[in-house]
Amino acid sequence: MEYRIEHDTFGEIKVPAEKLWGAQTQRSKQNFKIGGERIPLGVIQAFAHLKKSTAIASHSFGNLSEVKMKAIKTAAEEVIEGKWDDHFPLVVWQTGSGTQSNMNMNEVLANRGNQLLEEWGEEDRLHPNDDVNKSQSSNDTFPTALHVAGVIAVEREVLPAIDKLKETFEKKSEDFKDIIKIGRTHLQDATPLTLGQEISGWHRMLEKTRSMLETSVQSMKELAIGGTAVGTGLNAPVGFGEKVAEEISKSVGIDFTSAENKFHALTSYDEVVYTHGALKALAADLMKVANDVRWLASGPRSGIGEITIPENEPGSSIMPGKVNPTQSEALTMVVAQVMGNDATIGFAASQGNFELNVFKPVIIYNFLQSAKLLADGMISFNDNCAVGIEPNREEIDNKVKNSLMLVTALNPYIGYENAAKIAKKAHKEGTTLKEAALSTGLLTEEQFDEYVDPSKMTGNQ
């Protein structure tokens, strides 16, 4: 491998000749050989939006020449397009402020920008600190990129995935609105409802958690940029944060604002905890839905078997013909990961000391992983399972006919205790509810048929 010599305040260091990063990136790469989890591309792209915007802002304040601004802007746009993804090699497990990732971006943009300046026949050259990082600190750039990346993930990945699955459940709820089945509480038989009503609960879960996410993510649209090292804005012109937020909004296509209090923005991640809490609420609902689906589809002969789901692949290496609820299993594993991520984010966010929180990389790594897994998981569950849910009408009807909890309809006419006697008698003797009721002499056949009508017990009448 060929190398070139780069230098920083620590001296000279060899860097792979074909790479755009510089000395500080190389030192981090050598000093933090921990795991393989790299800084997510979502953060890299958010950083590129930020550096493009800071260059424009610095130029507008007269602190950066037009040609340098143009070089940084062009290089940043190339990063946003994914042209230089393999030039951002740093792992999550680095400095807690994300300084090396900030410098990784500064160095790549400076070196690529200098290539462009040379191609354009310009004599000016970019410096990663003096030009690309002008009026900034890692302490305000990393949290800014963190918020931008998190907002993009929620609004452009998670919310559309929710909408897709929600639409499926809305359709299924309408399609199955007249299919009467037995409800279950405590995993025991309960009173009737329709399959459409049951699925409407799933639909409403997604409506509610979508609303929670929409509300909570607004708080993440406040950006730390302009606070520089400790929140005072040292070395940044007055109004710099506001101008950068305005430019980021244009670049990303989402409205961001400059945080009112930069001291809070540098050291606190309460907005991220709040928003990830909504992701956790979504995960909790998805666990319930996925479990309901696999219970209701269990069988095909020895389980509940009230619905059928698509058969996507063989389920066993030893049992021929076995098919498993694999989409439910995948989605519930996603939920387990999100719950763990929430614990990590909550703990990491609690570790702000004085003017800075130094758990930033692990916070955004877990946040973006949760968003990605939930979005992908919902789309996979929708496309490969939910859209193919169908009722097993024969099994549903048999369970309704044999249910003992239909006796609840008799409470207003013969009282709770007498109704309980009928249910227990039918269960003990293995007879139908009707047979047990008539044998007690508490009501006639005509009365039983009038009072015990499952269609009247669903609330649809």
Give catalytic status of residue 147 as yes or no.
Answer: no
d(CA 238, CA 227): 11
| Annotated active-site residue in 316, 350, 439, 455 | 316
Q: Residue 385 is encoded by which pair of tokens?
A: 């399972």
d(CA 361, CA 101) in angstroms, rounded, equals 9
Contacts of 52 (CB under 8 A, 6+ apart): 72, 73, 76, 77, 80, 247, 251
Alpha helices in 253-355 (DSSP H): 262-267, 270-296, 326-349
Tokens of 195: 């399959």
Mark whether 186 is an active-site residue.
yes
The token pair at 160 is 């559309």
Q: Which residue has the tokens 């990303």?
A: 252
**DSSP assignment, residue 119?**
H
- In three state form, how does the secondary structure of 166-221 look? HHHHHHHHHHCCCCEEEEEECCEEEEEEEHHHHHHHHHHHHHHHHHHHHHHHHHHH
Rounded Cα distance between 412 and 225, Å, is: 66
The torsion angles phi and psi of 258, rounded to 5 degrees, stand at -80, 130
**352 beta partners:** 357
Q: How far apart are CA 11 and CA 23, in angstroms?
A: 9
DSSP 432-447: -HHHHHHHHTSS-HHH
DSSP at 459: S
Cα–Cα distance measured from residue 388 to residue 390, given in angstroms and rounded to the nearest whole number: 6
- Where is 5: in which H helix or E strand? strand 3-8
- DSSP letter string, 26-49: HHHHHH----S-BPPHHHHHHHHH
DSSP label at 342? H
Residue 252's H or E segment, with its range, is helix 240-252
**3-state helix, strand and coil shares in percent for the chain, rounded to the nearest 5:** 60, 10, 30
Catalytic sites, residue numbers: 186, 316
